[in-house]
Structure 1
Amino acid sequence: MTDLSFFHTPGSVAVIGASDNPDKIGGRPIEYMTTLGYRGALYPVNPSRPMIQGLPAFGSVDSLPEVPEVAVVAVPGQAAVDAVETCARLGVRGCVVMSSGFGETPDPDGRRCQEEMLRAARRTGMRIVGPNTQGLASFGSGAVLGFSTMFTELPPADGPVAVVSQSGAMCSVPYGVLRRRGVGVRYAHATGNDADVSAAELAAAVVADPAVRLLVLYLEDIRHPAAVEELADVATSRGVPVVALAGGRSAGGRRAAASHTGALANETRVVDAFFERLGIWRARHSADLTAAVDLYLQGAAQPRSPAAGEQGLAIVSNSGAICVLAADAAADHDLDLATFTTHSRERLGAALPAFAATANPVDVTAALMTDSSLFGKVLPVIGADPGVDACVVGIPVAGRGYDVATIAADVRAFAQDSGVPVAVAIAQPDVGAVFRDAGLAVFDDEGAAVAALAQVRRHGEIAAAAPGRGRLSTRRPGASVHTLDEADSLAALAALGLATVAATRCADADAAVAAFDALGGVPVVVKGCTAAITHKSDLGLVRLGLTDAEEVARAARDVVDIMARNGVAEGAVLVAPMVRGALEVMVGAHLDPSFGPVVVLGAGGTGVEAVPDVRVLLPPFTAADARAAVASLRMAPLLGPVRGDAAADVDAWVDMAVRLGREMVRPGSRIASVDANPVMLHRGVGAGAVAVDALVLVDGGAEL
């Protein structure tokens, strides 16, 4: 990664294709920079006009009095390519190519032109933003190298938030939301095709700015995870939270292998795991990008101190209904309510009317209308309680008859003095404006307030856990893979130290009976053993609980016949003891085209794809990371002691996941994909976990 700060504070800018009309793409950058305080040299380039927007115009870049540091390209097609080549030849440091019709289209000529630009730039080290970019806007310096209409609709103001997006629209939308809310935006960058400078690379340069305290990021794809890792490193070093929205399934994510794991570790889950690993909060919708901005700017995403002990949310309102609804919302977001100390409840009782509720939630009642000092009496008590680490203040009704200014001042004093993050829920816009003007985080209702607090708290937790996890492996899928049959797959897992069922490959029914006898007549499973069929149960190739030789022989003949009817002439039969009395879980791994090694664990059995309950881990990871993933599963309550049964041996399951993770990043490993499903997880300390079905794909030839 190179230093990109020259895009933010260029000493000189040329606009190639400059227009005298400020409503044209080539006119907007000039109008913005002449009105928003840009102090460098500005050179309009247009051979048809001597003057443009009051500035002398030049016929070509070659005729400029100096080589500009940055050039904005607003001419189409081949003219854009020619302009980029000229800039590279002259020694321009960077080009912002706003022109469209290049790599974003299926037109081969457009793609060829984009490649020509890149080749020209690489010869001299010049960097390109775009093409097909809305442009870059640095409001701290006034260097607005773009054409967004949003800057005319909502005038810019420098501030602590940066917006970086591959999409022009998803740069303008968050900018507009923030400016309507009165939040200053220091950068609003849209990178377009990311042919050279990526959104992540530019975002890393933005986050390095000491004036930036929050980054809002939109990525349409993650072609280069290492650039996002670099961004996260810079953000972590500066303590800047990153809230990101990314696309769901990419073409790479849909290229699932023949295994379950490829489907379970889809692009959405892998990106979730990637962002969490880096301490980045993944937004689900465009509104989520800015929903909690005010809380972030209050520092609410800072991780809690472990010495603080058990803490939770406090709720205060002048409405009993809001107290109830806020408590329900807290439960929805897995936020515990704080338990006040006896001393705090006594102090609250002394401050409130006798009929008010002093437990959490605190209902100060409609008495607030006649005594606007009630919040000022109650909130300091709550702020001093050691069990409180966040607070929702709900005021559904205020206005005439209420001293709103006093109430807002009291809430602001509480937020400042206690250091407790405060989210204020106010439905009346005019009342909410008073609280916003006081610097408070205001939401339309208690649900939104609680959701935002839950977000920043969880974000603080993942950010605290992110440092030290290391970079992702560079292993990627090979050009070809070979599928092992189940017997060889189980052997491959056993070689890695995973416990597997004692299965025997048998050529025919007689051999299957011999294997059954050798097991001592215990109930067995008979399965077809072939690499050609991966979903065996769908074709009736799995027979369970067989207890005598005749059943085993008949089952063996049946599965051989079924395989033959499905074109498998060389299929064998697998005989293994039944494993009972355990939970069915799964563990798997595969190589993602973008992110490399991926490990999946979760609930197992035949319904694993229909109703998935899985978590994705990106190695390298620790046993603690795997345990945390297990604890987050919906099935997690089943893993503890249940009706007299001992807790499941989660450590054995975790060990399987860790061993797979190590193998997937090991230099020289040929394992491309693993499915162990089901893994029979036994109850009791040291009881273990056993893989009873496995499918392994390896890179390259047939032998592992």
Structure 2
Amino acid sequence: MAKSLDALFAPRSIAFIGASNDPTRIGGRPLHYCLRDGFEGEIYPVNPSRDKVQGLKAFPSIGAIPADEVDLLVIAVPPKAIPMVLAEAGAKNVRAAVVLTSGFSETGEKGAALEAEMLATARKLGIRLLGPNCLGFYKAGDGIAATFSSLLEDGPPPQGELAIVSQSGAYGAHIAMLARRRGIGLASFAATGNECDIGVADLIEAAAADINVKVIGCYVEGIRHGRAFLRAVEVARLAGKPVILLKVGTSSSGQKAAQSHTASLAGDDRTLDQIIGRSGAIRVETTQELVDTLYVLTRRGLLASNRLGILTVSGGAGILMADAAEAAGFDIASMPEPARADLDARIPLGSSANPVDTTAQAMSDASIVRDAVSIVTRQGNYDAVVAFFMNWPESPVLGPPLREAIQQGLESGSEVPFAICMNAGPRTVSEYEETGLLVFEDPSFAVTALAHAATAGRAISGAPACVPTLPDTSTKCFVRLDEAEALAALADAGIPTMPFATARNSAEAGRISRQFDGPLAIKVISPDVQHKSDAGGVRLAVDPGNQAADAASKILADVGRAHPAAEIRGVLIAPMIRGVAELILGARIDPVFGPVVSVGMGGIFTELLDDVAIGLAPLDANEALELIRSLCGFPLLDGMRGKPRVDIRAAAETMAAMSRFIARHRGTILEVEINPLLLLEEHKGAVALDALIIPETAENPVIQNGQAAA
């Protein structure tokens, strides 16, 4: 268990601040649960208005508690009283506190100021805080219930191996209740609320260290400290414990709701999705998908790989499952030929490939099911099998022989996870689950959950997901950079840029242009005009000399009319360069993960394909190469249909240099873009033809959210 959270999850004593004598009230429920469930440590109700609370001696203040140390406070008093409560707690060497009270940063500036005061007091005294505005936590088996959740009203949930970590207390409890209904036992439940101190990442690490936890389910509205979250996922991966993540707040409306709920910062969902996807965490889209995946993982664990066998009594259901399996990334490999021969001999009217279809003839002869199950599970070399039997298991006629046939088929020695899809009541479902089978109603849900178990298996056994170390920040400031200055800054950072010259007016342009041979590109130089072509600020294929002077004159006049308030510094003159393909490189400060870098197909493919790969900065050339290769349009760079291969290594090295640049200047730069990065033939390099650097300003500051910009 994370050492700094020992007092939270393994307290020897708990003081309940604002303890109520009424076990149904927020201030009374945590105390009631701890008493009911047999917490063995010392319990101190604090209530200045009562001598006794729920049968125990009550104390008027923390200072009145007759003990030198109190490990944990559970606080349910008005917000303004809490900084004083914490200040008093210092004398009792309190090490952790759960703040159930709301009315802090989720309410606005005044609440945020109060939260900051509370946190400053806690940090000064060495007290870790869970909350505020949270539902608290519950730990199975120890009687520790620092929560007012209705989840515990009927008694402690069945104990199991699932840890639930949630920002939303109510929805986290809802997930726990659904898991309970699905027969999933609970090891712990924790809700973080506003996360002024302890956050989701801390709780994932604590769950990873808990020997009673096998799987971690996580509900998140906004990840505050992205890199800390990734490190926590890696800790869990190394412990062999998959993290299944339901991340909401992907729409603009959802992001606004998340901000008002727990002051969560959503960030860009595409960035989050790609970075989380490479971290080893398994992201799901719905509550159903989350619970289904937790069900598979807690009952049958990880899948070794992604080969799926499909057994059905309906050709239509087999097609549906095959479609779902392929979409989920499963390998729907056909049965081996010897196994197919055995199946063909046993089911001459069915299908022996994959899906294996027994057809309705199995209604008359359950031994067909027995043999099909045995052959598919023993000879198919599958990592899991999913079967469809509609309502047969519930049938008083078909059900008993079917269940016996399935069990006989599985008793042949195979340990492969076996999911059965059927329409049946709770009793029948329970009977099948007791034999070790996974039971689903919807075949597509079964396939999706098994696919996540396969992805989790690959993640757990895969290579470490390294979170790059951020370098020291540069003290260099950038102010209102134009394109020429941006190109120069990137060139200094090791990025190959085109040769260019600048001219303040048309006469200079004519004279300076003569240093170049061949056609030229001439562009306006202005920090205020980003879309130069739209403003008439670009001329291509211009000859040096008089034609260049004339082009510069027209550019300056056209842009002046289009943007009369813009600062126009002259024109940029560069030779026209031909290449094979183009990429667009971007780098920015993400509010969740800090500096990130992106790559996409350039030119006409930028908007057509919407094909972008995103990674943490800084990265090295090999990591950049992996991102480039992940693009759907990568074949266009790799010699597709006889076209020359481009210099991918040069592109990757440029991307790596750009990632180092944004990481080094993360305190002063918001965004960098190279559009396009022209790719030459293999071994001939890459060249940045246009560059944009957007520095921080007072009106548009770099958002620094804890670890994100550290």
| Shorter-chain TM-score tier | 0.7 to 0.9
Q: Following TM superposition, by how much is the alpha carbon of 1:323 offset from its aligned partner in structure 2, in angstroms?
A: 1.0
* Residue of structure 2 equivalent to 1:308: none
Amino acid in structure 2 at the alignment position of 1:25: I
Farther-moved stretch of structure 1 (669-678 vs 586-595): 669-678
Asked whether the 8 Å contact 2:39–2:143 carries over to 1, the reply is yes
Q: Is 1:326 aligned to residue 321 of structure 2?
A: yes
Farther-moved stretch of structure 1 (139-148 vs 572-581): 572-581
For 1:629 and 1:673, the matched residues in 2 are separated by: 19
Q: Following TM superposition, by how much is the alpha carbon of 1:163 offset from its aligned partner in structure 2, in angstroms?
A: 0.8
For 1:354 and 1:337, the matched residues in 2 are separated by: 22
For 2:404 and 2:585, the matched residues in 1 are separated by: 53
* Residue of structure 1 equivalent to 2:242: 241
Any idea what SS the aligned residue of 2:656 has? helix
For 1:274 and 1:201, the matched residues in 2 are separated by: 19
Q: Following TM superposition, by how much is the alpha carbon of 1:182 offset from its aligned partner in structure 2, in angstroms?
A: 0.9
Farther-moved stretch of structure 1 (370-379 vs 143-152): 370-379
Asked whether the 8 Å contact 1:71–1:94 carries over to 2, the reply is yes
Any idea what SS the aligned residue of 2:479 has? strand
Amino acid in structure 2 at the alignment position of 1:100: S
Equivalent of 2:389, from 389, 392, 395?
395
For 2:242 and 2:201, the matched residues in 1 are separated by: 14
| CA RMSD after TM alignment | 3.5
For 1:483 and 1:387, the matched residues in 2 are separated by: 62
Q: Following TM superposition, by how much is the alpha carbon of 1:637 offset from its aligned partner in structure 2, in angstroms?
A: 4.5
Aligned CA distance change for structure 1 residues 327 and 640 (closer, same or farther; 3 Å): farther
Asked whether the 8 Å contact 1:100–1:131 carries over to 2, the reply is yes
Q: Following TM superposition, by how much is the alpha carbon of 1:183 offset from its aligned partner in structure 2, in angstroms?
A: 0.3
Aligned CA distance change for structure 1 residues 156 and 612 (closer, same or farther; 3 Å): same
Farther-moved stretch of structure 1 (242-251 vs 178-187): 242-251
Q: Following TM superposition, by how much is the alpha carbon of 1:606 offset from its aligned partner in structure 2, in angstroms?
A: 6.6
For 1:638 and 1:270, the matched residues in 2 are separated by: 24
Farther-moved stretch of structure 1 (28-37 vs 274-283): 274-283
Q: Following TM superposition, by how much is the alpha carbon of 1:549 offset from its aligned partner in structure 2, in angstroms?
A: 7.1
Asked whether the 8 Å contact 1:319–1:365 carries over to 2, the reply is yes
For 1:475 and 1:610, the matched residues in 2 are separated by: 38
* Residue of structure 2 equivalent to 1:645: 643
For 1:333 and 1:427, the matched residues in 2 are separated by: 23
* Residue of structure 2 equivalent to 1:361: 355
For 2:662 and 2:555, the matched residues in 1 are separated by: 33
Farther-moved stretch of structure 1 (312-321 vs 69-78): 69-78
Aligned CA distance change for structure 1 residues 696 and 359 (closer, same or farther; 3 Å): same
* Residue of structure 2 equivalent to 1:19: 20
For 1:408 and 1:547, the matched residues in 2 are separated by: 86
Aligned CA distance change for structure 1 residues 179 and 696 (closer, same or farther; 3 Å): same
Asked whether the 8 Å contact 1:316–1:361 carries over to 2, the reply is yes
Any idea what SS the aligned residue of 1:290 has? helix
Q: Following TM superposition, by how much is the alpha carbon of 1:604 offset from its aligned partner in structure 2, in angstroms?
A: 2.1
Amino acid in structure 1 at the alignment position of 2:603: G
Any idea what SS the aligned residue of 2:693 has? strand
* Residue of structure 1 equivalent to 2:94: 92
Any idea what SS the aligned residue of 1:3 has? helix
Q: Following TM superposition, by how much is the alpha carbon of 1:29 offset from its aligned partner in structure 2, in angstroms?
A: 1.2
For 1:313 and 1:697, the matched residues in 2 are separated by: 49
Q: Is 1:182 aligned to residue 176 of structure 2?
A: no
Any idea what SS the aligned residue of 1:329 has? helix
Q: Is 1:374 aligned to residue 378 of structure 2?
A: no
Asked whether the 8 Å contact 2:528–2:567 carries over to 1, the reply is no
Asked whether the 8 Å contact 2:230–2:276 carries over to 1, the reply is no
For 2:222 and 2:106, the matched residues in 1 are separated by: 13
Asked whether the 8 Å contact 2:350–2:358 carries over to 1, the reply is yes
Aligned CA distance change for structure 1 residues 363 and 145 (closer, same or farther; 3 Å): same
Amino acid in structure 2 at the alignment position of 1:106: G
Farther-moved stretch of structure 1 (510-519 vs 366-375): 510-519
Deviations 1:646-701 (A, max 9, x none): 4444333223222323444459998764211122335x54354332222235689x
* Residue of structure 1 equivalent to 2:172: 171
* Residue of structure 2 equivalent to 1:199: 200
Deviations 1:517-561 (A, max 9, x none): 655434x43322223222223323233455797765543322211
Farther-moved stretch of structure 1 (564-573 vs 67-76): 564-573
**Equivalences for 1:97-176 in 2 at 5 Å?**
97-106=99-108, 108=110, 110-152=111-153, 156-176=157-177
For 1:405 and 1:172, the matched residues in 2 are separated by: 40
Equivalent of 2:487, from 486, 490, 498?
490
* Residue of structure 2 equivalent to 1:70: 72
For 2:412 and 2:537, the matched residues in 1 are separated by: 67
Deviations 1:567-587 (A, max 9, x none): 345432233344456333211
Asked whether the 8 Å contact 1:490–1:693 carries over to 2, the reply is yes
Q: Is 1:538 aligned to residue 534 of structure 2?
A: yes
* Residue of structure 2 equivalent to 1:590: 588
Any idea what SS the aligned residue of 2:371 has? helix
* Residue of structure 2 equivalent to 1:231: 232
For 2:339 and 2:274, the matched residues in 1 are separated by: 41
Farther-moved stretch of structure 1 (158-167 vs 232-241): 232-241
Q: Following TM superposition, by how much is the alpha carbon of 1:178 offset from its aligned partner in structure 2, in angstroms?
A: 0.6
Deviations 1:590-643 (A, max 9, x none): 333443321111122377479632111103434443343334333244344433
* Residue of structure 1 equivalent to 2:701: none
For 1:421 and 1:513, the matched residues in 2 are separated by: 76
* Residue of structure 2 equivalent to 1:291: 292
Asked whether the 8 Å contact 2:267–2:592 carries over to 1, the reply is no
Asked whether the 8 Å contact 2:137–2:189 carries over to 1, the reply is yes
Farther-moved stretch of structure 1 (287-296 vs 173-182): 287-296
Amino acid in structure 1 at the alignment position of 2:153: T
Aligned CA distance change for structure 1 residues 622 and 457 (closer, same or farther; 3 Å): farther
Q: Is 1:426 aligned to residue 412 of structure 2?
A: no
Aligned CA distance change for structure 1 residues 266 and 647 (closer, same or farther; 3 Å): farther
For 2:112 and 2:695, the matched residues in 1 are separated by: 35
Asked whether the 8 Å contact 1:19–1:52 carries over to 2, the reply is yes
Asked whether the 8 Å contact 1:375–1:411 carries over to 2, the reply is no
Aligned CA distance change for structure 1 residues 133 and 470 (closer, same or farther; 3 Å): closer
* Residue of structure 2 equivalent to 1:257: none
Unaligned runs of 5+ in 1: 255-264, 305-310
* Residue of structure 1 equivalent to 2:442: 445
* Residue of structure 2 equivalent to 1:46: 47
Asked whether the 8 Å contact 1:475–1:597 carries over to 2, the reply is no
For 1:492 and 1:372, the matched residues in 2 are separated by: 75
Amino acid in structure 2 at the alignment position of 1:185: L
Asked whether the 8 Å contact 2:620–2:653 carries over to 1, the reply is no
* Residue of structure 2 equivalent to 1:676: 674
* Residue of structure 1 equivalent to 2:258: none
* Residue of structure 1 equivalent to 2:263: none
Equivalent of 2:627, from 616, 626, 629?
629
For 2:81 and 2:567, the matched residues in 1 are separated by: 63
Aligned-pair identity (%) = 34
Aligned CA distance change for structure 1 residues 653 and 381 (closer, same or farther; 3 Å): farther
Q: Following TM superposition, by how much is the alpha carbon of 1:188 offset from its aligned partner in structure 2, in angstroms?
A: 0.9
**Equivalences for 1:520-559 in 2 at 5 Å?**
520-522=517-519, 524-546=520-542, 552-559=548-555
Asked whether the 8 Å contact 2:473–2:663 carries over to 1, the reply is no
Any idea what SS the aligned residue of 2:339 has? helix
Asked whether the 8 Å contact 1:474–1:596 carries over to 2, the reply is no
